[in-house]
Chain A
């Protein structure tokens, strides 16, 4: 009986060791792939950082109205964000190559799904970038315009425009990524409809006196302006 137990133990130990040994090359391949991709990511990251700094990427983005990107990405410059994004993508690619050493079919399935999703993800990123730029540009335009028109609620107006565009962008991005399904559409419709209805009610019922007073003030101001002695040209 003891010999049978010993034989069973030997067999199971041999199976475990054989299994482990069969995993070892894959594991080593994963570690090597990760090491090489990390090294490559570091090199590419450094080159990218220097190149982007060379072309004043941060300045370019700022000029396009993207000056507040640091606020979105934990106080880092856009150059750092982009170079780290590229570096981590390379590391992730290395990881996928390493995983392929274990099970090629699993990886090919994973990669296939990822590639199919990639256009959506890229389009979503572009949408997010464009939305952010448009939101900031419009917010700044509205702020300057409202200040020059002497509207006391200029800041509020500008912030409202900014968040309106950002919310719209987020809804579009989520829709594009297929996250949340119809909930996003419905939530957005309700939110937007609610805001418009609330404004309509506020102006129509609650604030009609305020609006009429404001319009009267504007009208009398316009009449006064014609008599101003100041000429700028």
Chain B
């Protein structure tokens, strides 16, 4: 059992005392004793609702409770709930993309294998948002419906999760053919089958897998995926990192994944919805779009100064479209969906070709992304929730329609340059 050697020694001893369990719940992002108490209480309440007699192990960061250990741990609400501290580092703010979180996933998976769990879930977003319904939602599809991955789906505000709405979701949907609304979701439920796959080394590199873009890994492994509606998205933390750094951190791994999975997505056509459980909470009916002038200024400035860099990845036809946009009056400013989809595809291709430094390339995309945000904000500022959803659906369809463009450029980057 060389794999379990990676588990920290103290954790391993505690796990050996626990023996076997049906479920493992990982709370790597749990930041306080209160949050842990609440999470444990809710997890305990959720278990009997799933099935009788379930035994669960809850893993939490050892920094949450004082080192004195068992005496100070929260009262166990269900006899079958065992708490095991794990020496996790404090959570990173970005979900799913940081190595720290990758390590946290590894730890949960190894414990899950060690106790021969029938399902495990990792709750990586703010721990005090956990509810009995959320725990049940992530575990029940695995235990009762024989699915392999349950992805949490939250309803975001109209102007929330814009990188996900504009790039991550439509790109993943068009390429891999599955409508998973949040491929970056940090709250996930896993079957033992998928855990075993994720613990195997990457077939391409022979090294341990990077545990990011897990839903995409499930698609590439041909596993059964579902998504679970878990209500409104937790209030977004104040984004301290600057936007271009966020783009680098999100799009860098995403584009790398596109490169790694090229044989897979080149075969996929269209997209299919995945089973969705739980009631969808409608988007809030907020009105107004805030001040977009600054973002518009950044785009105009980018057009004046970054032509040389954009010209490396964008074909002349797209540059011409951007030129037209710079001459549009602010109120009529609209970035067509097909142009935006092609821009994202071109940057994915530029990332693959290493036309320029990858960091520079992704940072140079910031003004273009802001142009999309402005266009979207002006278009949906007074639109009701349903129209906003329709607007995002049209964007996702544009990505699917433009996929042959990516295929052509990917296969013949020198010959196909419109």
Contacts and interface: CB of A to CB of B under 8 A. Distances in A.
B117 to A, nearest CB: 30
Given A63-B355, A154-B301, A231-B160, A143 B291 contact: no
Contacts of B163: 232-233
Contacts of B306: 143-144, 147
A148 B242 contact: yes
Interface in A106-163: 137, 140-141, 143-145, 147-148, 150-152, 154-155, 158
Contacts of B298: 147-148, 150
Nearest to B244: A148
Interface string A181-207: 000000000000000000000000000
A148 B239 CA distance: 16
Contacts of A65: 356-357
A2 interface: no
A154 B305 contact: yes
Interface stretch (B21-29, B359-367, B392-400, B401-409): B359-367
Interface in B304-344: 304-306, 309
Contacts of B301: 147, 150-152, 154
Given A150-B297, A228-B290, A233 B363 contact: no
A229 B290 contact: yes
Nearest to B94: A233
A153 to B, nearest CB: 10
Central interface residue in A137, A155, A233, by most chain B CB within 10 Å:
A233
A226 interface: yes
Contacts of A152: 301
A77 interface: no
A63 B377 CA distance: 36
Interface in B209-244: 236, 238-239, 242-244
B356 A63 contact: yes
B236 A143 contact: no
Contact of B294 (A145, A150, A227): A150
B262 to A, nearest CB: 20
Interface string A201-233: 000000000000000000001001011111111
B373 interface: yes
A230 B236 CA distance: 10
Chain B interface size, under 10 / 10 to 19 / 20 to 34 / 35 or more: 35 or more
A67 B356 contact: yes
Nearest to B164: A233
B246 A232 contact: yes
A134 to B, nearest CB: 13
A84 to B, nearest CB: 25
A229 B289 contact: yes
A142 B298 CA distance: 15
Interface in A42-85: 62-63, 65, 67
Contacts of A231: 157, 159-162, 236, 239
A22 to B, nearest CB: 60
A221 B306 CA distance: 24
Interface in B256-297: 286, 288-291, 294, 297
Contacts of B252: none
Contacts of B9: none
Interface in B51-69: none
B250 interface: yes
B356 A230 contact: no
B302 interface: yes
B14 interface: no
B373 A145 contact: no
Contacts of B363: 144-145, 148
B366 A229 contact: no
Contacts of B366: 144, 147-148
Contacts of A148: 242-244, 298, 302, 363, 366-367
Contacts of B244: 144-145, 148
A141 B288 CA distance: 35
Nearest to B374: A230
B354 interface: yes
Central interface residue in A143, A148, A224, A228, by most chain B CB within 10 Å:
A148
Contact of B357 (A63, A145, A224, A229): A63
Contact of B355 (A62, A143, A228): A62
A110 to B, nearest CB: 44
B162 A232 contact: yes
B288 to A, nearest CB: 8
A227 B304 CA distance: 29
B305 A143 contact: yes
Interface in B177-217: 184
Given A143-B306, A229-B289, 20 more contacts: A63-B357, A65-B357, A144-B360, A147-B302, A147-B367, A148-B363, A148-B366, A148-B367, A152-B301, A154-B305, A158-B305, A228-B291, A229-B290, A230-B162, A230-B373, A231-B162, A232-B163, A232-B239, A232-B243, A233-B184
Q: Which 4 A-B pairs give the minimum distances between C-beta atoms?
A: A231-B236, A231-B160, A229-B290, A229-B159
25 contacts: A63-B354, A140-B357, A144-B360, A144-B364, A144-B366, A147-B302, A147-B305, A148-B242, A148-B243, A148-B298, A148-B367, A150-B297, A150-B301, A152-B301, A227-B290, A229-B158, A229-B286, A229-B289, A230-B162, A231-B160, A231-B161, A232-B163, A233-B95, A233-B161, A233-B246
Interface of B: 94-95, 157-164, 184, 236, 238-239, 242-244, 246, 250, 286, 288-291, 294, 297-298, 301-302, 304-306, 309, 354-357, 360, 363-364, 366-367, 373, 377
